[in-house]
A and B are shown apart, each in its own frame.
Chain A
Amino acid sequence: MAEAAVSAAVSTPSAAVPAPLPVRAVLPWAFFVGLLALIALYFVGAEQGATSLFAGSDVHEWVHDGRHLLGFPCH
């Protein structure tokens, strides 16, 4: 509640400009989501192209068109 009161007071002079969110509140989310996003983008952008975690070419072929149109080098 104290934090709510402070942030409300800070943003009172110009209601449109919000107070910054504390870095320690954002950092764990940023780290975890950043990691997940990198893994997701690896599978869309590079798996079974330059490097392969799984044998075969199923992943490559499935996301093939998306990989090209999103700008990743494909083959």
Chain B
Amino acid sequence: MHASTVRTLLVRGMLAGLIAGLFAFAVAYVGGEPSVDGSIAVEEAQAAQEAAHAGHGGEEAEEEEVVSRSAQSTFGLATGVLVYGVALGGVAALAFSFALGRVGRFSPRATAALTAAAAFTTVYLVPFLKYPATPPAVGNPDTIGKRTTLFFLMILLSVLLGVAAVILGRRLAPRLGNWNASLVAGFGFVLVTGVAFAVLPANDDAVKAGFPAKLLWEFRLASLGVQVVLWVVFAVVFGFLAQKALAARTAGAEPPARVEVPAAG
């Protein structure tokens, strides 16, 4: 019966991730696309200028479009954000299944909120602080391999440090009490993350010199907003669904083989 509980939580986690992805897509489309378009305009202006300097005609600056801008900014953007939401929703549901009843005296709803906060912090916020999101057309294509490796490495490191901090906090709790143990573990996480920030190489060439600062700020704010909305909506929706799933279980009733998923809209 535990396996079917985990399965129910997984399905609900992916559903919550899908719903959260829809909200995140709305934010990305309304809040993020203007700065993406702005960045592409800056790139095209620079490319046209360089072509003019080199004595070529303007037509060489035109890149061949594999996917049109209108498809990229709608269906393409939705594909990326929804796949991201469903995949991380599923992973977060399983992290929740581990955390439930193990991180303290929290209800399923509170555990879901804590899991979402931890996922947002370790999967996005900490890597973002070291290697922030960059708008299109500003990077150096020669360093994309290095930048991608560092970014994924930073996510892995931050998730591992987060897990270590939770384990440390639970170990210290009997001696220090929950509050102080959480403070010590949190401080340890910040300290080691700070050391990692200082030691890992910077990637200054991710943004070309002279790129408009206002545009960069707007793009990064939108990127942050997408993730905040994604995880807040996930926390609320999954918290509601997990609470209901587990209430049915602890009520002593045989868990329904097929749980009707409520329309959480």
Binding site for B on A (CB under 8 A): 3-5, 7-8, 11, 14-23, 25-26, 29-30, 33-34, 36-37, 40-41, 43-46, 49-51, 56-58, 61-75
Contacts and interface: CB of A to CB of B under 8 A. Distances in A.
Nearest to A9: B252
B174 interface: no
Given A21-B2, A61-B67, A69 B87 contact: no
A21 B6 contact: yes
B136 to A, nearest CB: 6
Interface string B108-143: 100000000000000010011001111111010100
B157 interface: no
Interface residues of B, number: 72
A66 B5 contact: no
A7 B250 contact: yes
Contacts of B132: 71
Interface centre among B80, B83, B105 (most CB of A within 10 A): B80
Given A14-B105, A68-B36, A74-B134, A62 B98 contact: no
A61 B127 contact: no
